[in-house]
Amino acid sequence: MKVNYLFTELPETRQEINLLTASIIELAQSGEIDILDLEISLKSLQDAIETARKSDQFKDELGSYVDRFEKEFDRGPAKITRVQKSTYYFDNNESWVKASDKLKQLEKTLKTIPSDMADSETGEILHPAYKRTSEYLKIIIS
């Protein structure tokens, strides 16, 4: 069963988002539709939105459009601020590469030791890594 009727109008305000969220959860709990079909529909919608927003065409069009406005402005219920993000890359620094490789090796070691042990080079007590495992559904839309 398709869940298209949930999305006759896209939410625009935080209140509408909360109402849609509550409707989705209520639908999931009601047993009115198969919850796996609902999850597949939600995943499909999420993939479509993410793919569109990440596309260069969408980003370029959006960038051209917002160039008309100030750095910060309101549009309907949304407050929009153009911001910048810097990303640092260190892989051109030999010291960083060596330290990063050493950290990766330490992580590999800590994953495999069954109990506390002393580092043979430094004498430092190494504690085994602990892990948390979570379960999720991997859904691939064809």
Q: pLDDT per residue over 94-135, tens digit each?
A: 999 999 999 999 999 999 999 999 988 889 999 999 999 999
Coil, helix or strand for 32? coil
Cβ burial, residue 20 (10 Å; 0-12/13-18/19+): middle
pTM for the model: 0.70
Angle of helix 56-66 versus helix 35-54 axis, rounded to 10: 60
Structural element, H or E, at residue 72: strand 72-75
Q: Where are the domains of the chain?
A: 4-66
C-alpha–C-alpha distance, residues 127 and 132, integer Å? 16
The helix (run of H) or strand (run of E) holding residue 109 is helix 94-112
What are the pLDDT digits (tens) for 52-78? 999 999 999 999 999 999 999 999 899
Q: pLDDT category, 136, cuts 50, 70, 90?
A: confident
